[in-house]
Structure 1
């Protein structure tokens, strides 16, 4: 197996990881920003107020994006296992 193949597989793995995690991270970022703006305008400085909405948003995001995330990961794993003989041999 050539170094270019290894780099290509690693690059594809990092790309899939970023694509799968991006929707949940963006949801948490947006909800955190909204809660921070709300805290700044109302002058409520409760530290735990920011965590509950973010957790709920990520769980709702998992419900909506979960099937897509799973399909992306399964396609990548299937591609790796299908071409395993070519990679090793």
Structure 2
């Protein structure tokens, strides 16, 4: 296995991880920002008001994007398994 192949495999894995995590985290961050703006406007500083909507949005994104997330992982592993003969020999 050459260093170029290793860097390519690691780069592809990192890009897949970033794409998958951003699909789950970014909507939760946006909802958390909106909730914190509402909390500071109303001066209600309750921690559960911020936690529950973020949890709900993250779970909904997992449900809606689950098929895409699984497909991304399958494509990564297909690429890894197909590249095994070229890396060994």
TM-score w.r.t. length of structure 1: 0.95
2:79: which partner in 1?
79
2:65: which partner in 1?
65
Displaced runs of 4 or more, over 3 A: none
Root mean square deviation of aligned Cα: 0.9
| Unaligned segments of structure 1, at least 5 residues | none
- 1:88: how far off? 2.4
| Unaligned segments of structure 2, at least 5 residues | none
1:56: which partner in 2?
56
Q: SS of the counterpart of 1:45? A: coil
1:17: which partner in 2?
17
| Cα distance in structure 1, aligned partners of 2:38 and 2:82 | 50
TM-score w.r.t. length of structure 2: 0.95
